[in-house]
Structure 1
Amino acid sequence: MSTIKKIGILGGTFDPPHVGHLRLATHFAKVLHLDALLLIPSGEPWQKGTGITPAETRLQLTEAAGIDLARAFLYLKIATQVGIDRIEIDRAGPSYAIDTVRVLRERYGADASLTWLMGADSLVALPSWNSWEKLSHYVNFAVATRPHHGLKMEISSEVGQFLKGHQTSDPAALENQPSGLIYIDEGLNVDLSSTELRDRLKSSSRGAIASEHIPTHTLEIITNLGLYQ
Structure 2
Amino acid sequence: MPGPRPDRPGGDLVLVYGGTFDPVHNGHLAIARCARDELHAPVRLMPAADPPHRPPPGADAAQRTRMLELAVAGEDGLWVDTRELRRAARQPGVPSWTVDTLRELRAETGATAPVALLMGADSLLGLPTWREWEHLLDLAHIVVAERPGNALDGQLPAALAARLRDAWADDAARLRERPAGRVWRLRQPLQAESATAVRRLIASGGHWRELVPDAVAGYIGAHGLYGCATA
TM-score interval, smaller chain: 0.7 to 0.9
1:18 to 5, 18, 25: 25
> 1:169–1:183: 8 Å Cα contact kept in structure 2?
yes
The Cα offsets for residues 57-76 of structure 1, whole Å up to 9 and x where unpaired, read as 11111111221xx43x4xxx
> How many angstroms apart in 2 are the aligned matches of 1:128 and 1:190?
25
* 1:169 aligned onto 2:170: yes
The Cα offsets for residues 171-196 of structure 1, whole Å up to 9 and x where unpaired, read as 11113321110012344434462112
The Cα offsets for residues 113-165 of structure 1, whole Å up to 9 and x where unpaired, read as 21111110011000001001101111111111111223234310111112212
> How many angstroms apart in 2 are the aligned matches of 1:196 and 1:154?
24
Return the offset for 1:4: 3.3
* 1:83 aligned onto 2:103: no
* Higher relative strand content: 1
Point out where structure 1 has 5 or more consecutive residues left out of the alignment.
74-79
* 1:55 aligned onto 2:61: yes
> How many angstroms apart in 1 are the aligned matches of 2:193 and 2:118?
12
Return the offset for 1:41: 0.4
> 1:145–1:190: 8 Å Cα contact kept in structure 2?
no
Match of 1:76 in 2: none
The Cα offsets for residues 103-122 of structure 1, whole Å up to 9 and x where unpaired, read as 11111222322111111001
Return the offset for 1:221: 1.3
> How many angstroms apart in 2 are the aligned matches of 1:175 and 1:23?
23
**Higher mean displacement: 172-181 or 92-101:** 172-181
In structure 2, relative to structure 1, the CA distance for the partners of 1:24 and 1:41 (3 Å cut) is same
Return the offset for 1:27: 0.5
What SS does structure 1 have at the residue aligned with 2:153? helix
Return the offset for 1:215: 1.4
What SS does structure 2 have at the residue aligned with 1:57? helix
TM-score normalised to structure 1 length: 0.87
> How many angstroms apart in 1 are the aligned matches of 2:10 and 2:30?
26
Q: In structure 1, what residue type is equivalent to 2:160?
A: V
**Higher mean displacement: 158-167 or 187-196:** 187-196
Match of 2:213 in 1: 215
In structure 2, relative to structure 1, the CA distance for the partners of 1:110 and 1:55 (3 Å cut) is same
Match of 2:112 in 1: 111
Mapping 1:1-229, distance limit 5 Å: 4-34=11-41, 36-50=42-56, 52-67=58-73, 70-71=74-75, 73=76, 80=77, 82-91=78-87, 92=91, 93-191=94-192, 193-205=194-206, 208-210=207-209, 212-229=210-227
In structure 2, relative to structure 1, the CA distance for the partners of 1:51 and 1:163 (3 Å cut) is closer
What SS does structure 1 have at the residue aligned with 2:21? coil
* Higher relative helix content: 1
> How many angstroms apart in 2 are the aligned matches of 1:51 and 1:18?
15
Return the offset for 1:2: 8.8
> 1:113–1:177: 8 Å Cα contact kept in structure 2?
yes
Identity %: 31
